[in-house]
Amino acid sequence: MLNIQHLTKTYGDKKAVDDLTLHIAPGEIYGFIGHNGAGKTTTLKSVVGILQFDAGTITIDGTDLKADPLACKRKLAYIPDNPDLYDYMTGIKYLSFIADVFGVDAQTRQARIRQYGDIFEITGDLAQPIAAYSHGMKQKLAIIAAWLHDPRLIIMDEPFVGLDPKAAHTLKGMMRQVCDRGGAIFFSTHVLEVAEKLCDKVAIIKGGRLIRSGTMEEVKGDDSLEQVFLELEDEA
Domain assignments of the chain as residue spans, ordered by start = 2-81+151-234
pLDDT at res. 236: 47
pLDDT at res. 220: 76
**pLDDT above 70 for 108:** yes
| Top-confidence residue, 166 or 223 | 166
pLDDT at res. 168: 92
**Pairwise CA distance, residues 173 & 216, whole Å:** 19
**pLDDT above 80 for 46:** yes
**pLDDT above 80 for 10:** yes
Note whether 17 and 43 are within 8 A (CB): yes
221: left (phi over 0), alpha (psi -120 to 50) or beta: left
Lowest-pLDDT range of 14-23, 32-41, 125-134: 32-41
Please list, residue by residue across 171-191, b when 16 or more beta carbons sit within 10 angstroms of its beta carbon and e when fewer do: bbebbeebbeeebbbbbbbee
pLDDT, mean of residues 8-27: 92
pLDDT, mean of residues 119-138: 93
Strand residues in the chain grouped as ranges (E): 2-11, 14-24, 29-33, 55-60, 63-64, 76-79, 153-157, 184-188, 201-206, 209-215
Give residue 43's pLDDT band: very low, low, confident or very high (50, 70, 90). very high
pLDDT, mean of residues 137-153: 94
CATH number for 2-81+151-234 (one of 3.90.1150.10, 3.40.50.300, 2.60.200.30, 3.30.70.100): it is: 3.40.50.300
| Top-confidence residue, 30 or 135 | 30
pLDDT mean across residues, the chain: 90
| Top-confidence residue, 227 or 106 | 106
pLDDT at res. 7: 94
Give residue 5's pLDDT band: very low, low, confident or very high (50, 70, 90). very high
**pLDDT above 80 for 160:** yes
Q: Phi and psi (nearest 5°) for 188?
A: -95, 150
pLDDT at res. 51: 87
pLDDT at res. 63: 92
